[in-house]
Amino acid sequence: MLQLILGGARSGKSRLAEKLATDSQLQVTYIATYIATSQSQDGEMNERVAHHRARRPAEWALIEEPLELARVLRESASADRCLLVDCLTLWLTNLLMLDDAERLSAEREALLDCLASLPGEIIFVSNETGMGVVPLGELTRRYVDEAGWLHQALAERCQRVVLTVAGLPLTLKGTAL
């Protein structure tokens, strides 16, 4: 089953995804798309990562992959495993920062193309960014546009899509939670 969990910052989307992964009763592999390093200057982001790490069960496997998400999914998916990808918008940001439109397009298409053949449970977490004003700045507008297009394409392929607001899940597609 493919699931997409969307929500704003601090909406409860990651907590919901973690609960769904635990409830699957499968082996869980957490795929982190942001890699905190000791050289990272973003202290607030490093705190967010630390919070996520502290909350995850010790028995969950961890893969850190900022770019080649489709490859990792193909290599890691199995019928007895739940893959939790957190988060797609960080993955998208990583690709946008490469300033290589061909790489972004190739990685996006590779992700979308591999989904139908993946066994097991896959849960994607992503930030819903398109509910506010159109941002100033070309890169920011491109980010919002790319995230919106990615979410639409994923939602089309997923069996369940959930929007999380204030810790409450609203099922947009599939079986209600």
Which entry of 13, 52, 56, 151 is annotated as an active-site residue?
Answer: 52
Query: How confident is the model at residue 136, as a pLDDT?
Result: 84
pTM of the model: 0.92
pLDDT above 70 (res 70):
yes
Long-range contacts, stretch 143-148, CB < 8 angstroms, 24+ apart: 143/92, 143/93, 143/96, 146/92, 146/96, 146/104, 146/108, 147/88, 147/89, 147/92
Q: How confident is the model at residue 56 (pLDDT cuts 50, 70, 90)?
A: confident
Annotated catalytic, 52? yes
162-177 pLDDT tens trace: 999 999 999 999 999 9
Domains of the chain, start order? 2-173 (3.40.50.300)
Percent of the chain at pLDDT > 90 equals 79
Contact 108, 157 (CB under 8 A): no
Query: How confident is the model at residue 103, as a pLDDT?
Result: 97
Helix %, strand %, coil % of the chain (to 5): 45, 25, 30
Contact 163, 150 (CB under 8 A): no
pLDDT above 70 (res 26):
yes
Q: If you average pLDDT over residues 134-152, what whole number do you get?
A: 92
Cα-flanking dihedrals φ and ψ of residue 10, to 5°? 60, 30
Single-letter residue type at 26: L
As a whole number of angstroms, the distance between CA 144 and CA 20 comes to 27
